[in-house]
C-alpha cells in the first residue's frame, strides 16, 4: 500500500478540511481514482487510527497526513465504484465502524438546482431539508440547505454528538445549496445546521424545511418520514373534481385556536392532543353544522402567546399537540366527518429568533437587507424578501405543501395589507418607494398573484382567503383580470360597521342606520367572507356579548340578532370559537373556553340558534348560491331608520324557487303587524325566529309561524303581508313549496 506523493498544496488543502473552510470537502474526502488504484481519504478528528474495510482479504490502514485528523491510503488495483466502511479507533480504545458519508454523489439533481434558483421548484421541500433514503443499499438521511453566503456548513445532531467537525457539507456550485448524505442518520434524530459565516462567526440554525421540530422551548429540527395512511380519497377526489373555489356552496367556518378550545380535564394547564381534538372537535363542529374549521396557525412557532402568527417552521406543525402524523390523522378524521380544514398561513413576516430564519447564513437572506423594508414596526418581526427567487420559492412551496402533504382544504393568508403597502405602519422617511415612486410593494403583489395561480392550478378546489383590510381593488378577482387571485376576501368593513351599529343603544341606532346598510354598496365588488374572528375579542376589546348594549337578556338578544343578520347577509361567514354561545369574558389563549356557561339557558339558547342558523343555511340555496352577484339580493326596506327595521330578500340561482326574506327589528320595542313586501304570492313559512323560547327569547311573535302573501304592493313588490317582529328580533321567511 502506498499513500502516494503529496501535491505541493496538500498541506493547505488538508488544513482547510480540518478548519472547515473547504467548500467542497468531497473533492478531498472519500474515494478518488489515481493511476493504478483508488485513494481513500477520511477526516476523523481525535482518532488514533482509521482502517478502510473493503471486504477484501487485506484491510487498508490509512496513514495520518494531518495532525487534525486527516487520514489517507491508496488501494492499488481498485476501481470505482468502491464499497467500503471505516473502522475508527480513539485514544480510550473505543472502536467504531461507520459508512463514509463522503463516498456518495450529490442527492440533488441539476434540474432541482436549476428550478430552485429560478424560484419555480414547487416541490423544493422534497429536496431541501432532511430526507431518509437508501443509496446503494445503505440507509441514511440526505441533508440539504440553502445558505449562499456561508463560508462552510456542517450538519450536527444526535448522530454525531453535535460535533460540527465531523460532517461538513459540500456546496453545489453557484446555487448556494449545501448537501450531504449521512449514512445511519434516520427518523427521530434531532439536528441543526452549523453555519460558519465569512466574518468568522458560527451559528446553529434550525432547518427551514424541517418536517418536524422539538417541543418549545427546545429548538432543534427532527428527521421525519410521514407514515400516516390517508383514508380521505373520496374527499380529495371530490375537491379536485370541483375544479375551483366553492363560491356557490355553503361555507360556514368555525375559527379555532387548538390550545384553548378545550383543555385537558385532568390538567387545565395542558391542551388536548391532536387525537383527542380530532374526536371532540369534529363531533362538536358536526353537531353545530359548520362546514369548515379554520385553525389559527399550526405551523411551528416558539412563542405560544403569538397564537402561531410568528412562524419559525413553515413545513412542520407545532409539536405542542402531537406529532406530524397525528396532525395528519386529525385532518383525516375531520374529512371523514364531512368537515373541511382551513389553515392560517403567514407569508408576511417572521420572528427574529437567532436559531431560525433571521440572518440565516450570516447575511440578510430571507429578509430584506434595508430595515425600511426588512423590519416590521408593529410586530417586531422581519419581512420576507419576496423579490428573491429562492425566498419566493420557499413561500410558494410552503402553501402547496400544506394542501398536498396535509390535505388542507385551503389557507387564509394573514396580514395581506402589510404585504401590499411599502408604507404600512411607517411614517414619512421610514419607507422606500417602488421603482415608479408609489407605495405599492410590487414584489409582494407578484408573489400573491403567483401564489394563487399556482395553488388553484395545482390543487383545484382549495380555498384561498385574504385578510385584507384596505380598499385594494380586485383582491378576490382572477389575476388575468388584474386581481390578486384569492378565492375570498375577509370583509373587514362589514365587521367594523356592523359591530359599531350593534354596540349602540337601540335609542340611538337610528342615527347609525347607514352603518348597518352600507356594506351592500360594495358587497359584490369582492367574494367576501364575513368574519367575527379572534381579533375582535382580544387585547381589551372585550367579549362579543359584552359589546352589546342593555341588560344580560338584551345583550343575548342583540347577539342572536347579529348572528341572524350575518348568516343572511351576502357572503360566507366565519365565527370564532366561544362566540357561538356568547362567552362572557374576553378570549384568553392560555385558558380553556368557558364551557360551563352552557348550563345557563341564555348562553345555551345562543348556541342553539347558531346550530339552527347552520342547519337552515345549508338547506336554503338562497343563502349561498348567489353570494357574489347583485342578482342574489334585493332591498325591501332599507330606510326605516326611525323604527330600526331592515328587510331584505335573498335569492338562489332559480329565484322563482329559492328565496328568503330576512326582517330585522333592532329596536327595543315590538313591531306587531309590520307590513313587509314579499317577492311572490302564496304561503310563506317562518323558518327562523331569534326571539323563539328555544333560543332564550321571549316568544313574543311565536304565534305567527305561517302567513299568506296578499296582493298588496309594498316595498316595490307585488305582494306583502303583516309580520310580527319581536324586540331585538330577526325572522327568516321562505315561500312554501307548491
* Structure confidence by residue, pLDDT tens digits, 235-272: 999 999 988 889 999 999 999 999 999 998 888 888 99
Structural contact between residues 671 and 663, judged by C-beta atoms closer than 8 angstroms: no
Structural contact between residues 421 and 441, judged by C-beta atoms closer than 8 angstroms: yes
> What pLDDT is stored for residue 245 in this prediction?
86
> What pLDDT is stored for residue 573 in this prediction?
98
Q: How many CB atoms lie within 10 A of CB 12?
A: 11
Cell of 612: 339552527
**No. of H helices and E strands in the chain?**
16, 37
* Domain(s) of CATH 2.60.40.10: residues in the chain: 10-103, 110-222
> What pLDDT is stored for residue 1 in this prediction?
37
> What pLDDT is stored for residue 237 in this prediction?
96
Kindly report whether the peptide bond that precedes residue 356 is cis, defined as omega within 30 degrees of 0.
no
> What pLDDT is stored for residue 57 in this prediction?
66
Collect the ranges in the chain with pLDDT lower than 50.
1-8
> What pLDDT is stored for residue 7 in this prediction?
46
Beta-sheet pairing, 572-576 with 252-256? parallel
The CA-CA-CA angle for residues 467, 468, 471, to 5°, reads 155
End-to-end CA distance of the chain: give it in Å, rounded. 100
DSSP class per residue in 471-520: --TTTTS-GGGTS---SEEE-HHHHHHHHHHHHS-GGGGGGGHHHHHTHH
> What pLDDT is stored for residue 265 in this prediction?
83
Hunting for cell 307585488 — which residue is that? Answer: 718
Residue 458: exposure state from Cβ atoms within 10 A (0-12, 13-18, ≥19): middle
CA distances from residue 281 to 262, 272, 287, 382, 402 in whole angstroms, order as listed: 9, 10, 10, 34, 20
> What pLDDT is stored for residue 267 in this prediction?
85
Q: Which fold has domain 10-103?
A: Immunoglobulin-like (2.60.40)
690: nearest Cα among 573, 556, 589, 571: 556
Q: Give Rg (Cα) of the chain.
A: 32
> What pLDDT is stored for residue 6 in this prediction?
40
CATH code given to domain 110-222: 2.60.40.10
pTM, whole model, 2 decimals? 0.94
Kindly report whether the peptide bond that precedes residue 228 is cis, defined as omega within 30 degrees of 0.
no
> What pLDDT is stored for residue 4 in this prediction?
41
Q: Catalytic residue numbers?
A: 414, 467
* Structure confidence by residue, pLDDT tens digits, 450-499: 999 999 999 999 999 999 999 999 999 999 999 999 999 999 999 999 99
Query: Between 2.60.40.2130, 3.40.50.10490, 3.30.70.20, 2.60.40.1180, what CATH number should domain 493-735 receive?
Result: 2.60.40.1180
* Domain(s) of CATH 2.60.40.1180: residues in the chain: 493-735
Amino acid at each position: 500500500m502506498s499513500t502516494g506523493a503529496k501535491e505541493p498544496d496538500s498541506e493547505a488543502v488538508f488544513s482547510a478540511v480540518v478548519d472547515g473552510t473547504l467548500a467542497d470537502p468531497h473533492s478531498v474526502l472519500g474515494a478518488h481514482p489515481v493511476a493504478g488504484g483508488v485513494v481513500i481519504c477520511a477526516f476523523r478528528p481525535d482518532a488514533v487510527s482509521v482502517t478502510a474495510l473493503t471486504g477484501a482479504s487485506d484491510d487498508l490502514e490509512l496513514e495520518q497526513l494531518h495532525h487534525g485528523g486527516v487520514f489517507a491510503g491508496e488501494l492499488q488495483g481498485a476501481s470505482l465504484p468502491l464499497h467500503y466502511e471505516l473502522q475508527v479507533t480513539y485514544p480510550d480504545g473505543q472502536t467504531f465502524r461507520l459508512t463514509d458519508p463522503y463516498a456518495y454523489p450529490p442527492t440533488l439533481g441539476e434540474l432541482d438546482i436549476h428550478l430552485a434558483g429560478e424560484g419555480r421548484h414547487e416541490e423544493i421541500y422534497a429536496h431541501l431539508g432532511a430526507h431518509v433514503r437508501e443509496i446503494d443499499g445503505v440507509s441514511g438521511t440526505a441533508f440539504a440547505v440553502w445558505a449562499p453566503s456561508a463560508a462552510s456548513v456542517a450538519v450536527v445532531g444526535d448522530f454525531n454528538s453535535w460535533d460540527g467537525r465531523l460532517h461538513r457539507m459540500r456546496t453545489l456550485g453557484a446555487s448556494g445549496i449545501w448537501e450531504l448524505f449521512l449514512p445511519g442518520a434516520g427518523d427521530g434524530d434531532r439536528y441543526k445546521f452549523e453555519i460558519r459565516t465569512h466574518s468568522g462567526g458560527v451559528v446553529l440554525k434550525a432547518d427551514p424545511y424541517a418536517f418536524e421540530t422539538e417541543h418549545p422551548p427546545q429548538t432543534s429540527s427532527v428527521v421525519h418520514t410521514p407514515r400516516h395512511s390517508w383514508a380521505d380519497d373520496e374527499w380529495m377526489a371530490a375537491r379536485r373534481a370541483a375544479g375551483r373555489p366553492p363560491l356557490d356552496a355553503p361555507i360556514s367556518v368555525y375559527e379555532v385556536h387548538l390550545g384553548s378550545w378545550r383543555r385537558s380535564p385532568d390538567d387545565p394547564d395542558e391542551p388536548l392532543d391532536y387525537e383527542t381534538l380530532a374526536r371532540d372537535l369534529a363531533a362538536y363542529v358536526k353537531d353545530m353544522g359548520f362546514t369548515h374549521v379554520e385553525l389559527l396557525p399550526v405551523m411551528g412557532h416558539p412563542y405560544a402567546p403569538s397564537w402561531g402568527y410568528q412562524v419559525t417552521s413553515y413545513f412542520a406543525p407545532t409539536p405542542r399537540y402531537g406529532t406530524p402524523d397525528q396532525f395528519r390523522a386529525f385532518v383525516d378524521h375531520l374529512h371523514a366527518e364531512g368537515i373541511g380544514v382551513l389553515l392560517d398561513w403567514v407569508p408576511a413576516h417572521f420572528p427574529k429568533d437567532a436559531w431560525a430564519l433571521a440572518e440565516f447564513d450570516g447575511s440578510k437572506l430571507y429578509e430584506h437587507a434595508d430595515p425600511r423594508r426588512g423590519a416590521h414596526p408593529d410586530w417586531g418581526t422581519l419581512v420576507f424578501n419576496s423579490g428573491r427567487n429562492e425566498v419566493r420559492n420557499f413561500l410558494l412551496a410552503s402553501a402547496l405543501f400544506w394542501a398536498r402533504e396535509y390535505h388542507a382544504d385551503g389557507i387564509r393568508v394573514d396580514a395581506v395589507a402589510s404585504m401590499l403597502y411599502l408604507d404600512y405602519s411607517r411614517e414619512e422617511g421610514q419607507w422606500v418607494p417602488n421603482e415608479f415612486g408609489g407605495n405599492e410593494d410590487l414584489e409582494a403583489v407578484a408573489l400573491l398573484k403567483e401564489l394563487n395561480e399556482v395553488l388553484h392550478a395545482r390543487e383545484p378546489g382549495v380555498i384561498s382567503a385574504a385578510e385584507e383590510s384596505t380598499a385594494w381593488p380586485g383582491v378576490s378577482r382572477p389575476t388575468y383580470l388584474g386581481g390578486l387571485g384569492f378565492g375570498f376576501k375577509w370583509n373587514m368593513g362589514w365587521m367594523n360597521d356592523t359591530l359599531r351599529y350593534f354596540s349602540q343603544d337601540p335609542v340611538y341606532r337610528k342615527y347609525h342606520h347607514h352603518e348597518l346598510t352600507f356594506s351592500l354598496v360594495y358587497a359584490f365588488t369582492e367574494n367576501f367572507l364575513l368574519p367575527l374572528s379572534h381579533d375582535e375579542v382580544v387585547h381589551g376589546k372585550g367579549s362579543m356579548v359584552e359589546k352589546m348594549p342593555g341588560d344580560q337578556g338584551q345583550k343575548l338578544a342583540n347577539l342572536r340578532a347579529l348572528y341572524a343578520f350575518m348568516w343572511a347577509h351576502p357572503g360566507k361567514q366565519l365565527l370564532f370559537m366561544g362566540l357561538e354561545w356568547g362567552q362572557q369574558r374576553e378570549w384568553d389563549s392560555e385558558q380553556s373556553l368557558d364551557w360551563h356557561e352552557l348550563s345557563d339557558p341564555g348562553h345555551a339558547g345562543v348556541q342553539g340558534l347558531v346550530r339552527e342558523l347552520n342547519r337552515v343555511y345549508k338547506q336554503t340555496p338562497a343563502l349561498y348560491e348567489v353570494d357574489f352577484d347583485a342578482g342574489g339580493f334585493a332591498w325591501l326596506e332599507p330606510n326605516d331608520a326611525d323604527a330600526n327595521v331592515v328587510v331584505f330578500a335573498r335569492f338562489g340561482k332559480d329565484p322563482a324557487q329559492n328565496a328568503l326574506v330576512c326582517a330585522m327589528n333592532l329596536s327595543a320595542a315590538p313591531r306587531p303587524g309590520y307590513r313587509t313586501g314579499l317577492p311572490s304570492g302564496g304561503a310563506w313559512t317562518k323558518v327562523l325566529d331569534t326571539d323563539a323560547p328555544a333560543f332564550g327569547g321571549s316568544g313574543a311573535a311565536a304565534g305567527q309561524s305561517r302567513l299568506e302573501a296578499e296582493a298588496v304592493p309594498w316595498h316595490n313588490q307585488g305582494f306583502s303581508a303583516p309580520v310580527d317582529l319581536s324586540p331585538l328580533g330577526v325572522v327568516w321567511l321562505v315561500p312554501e313549496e307548491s
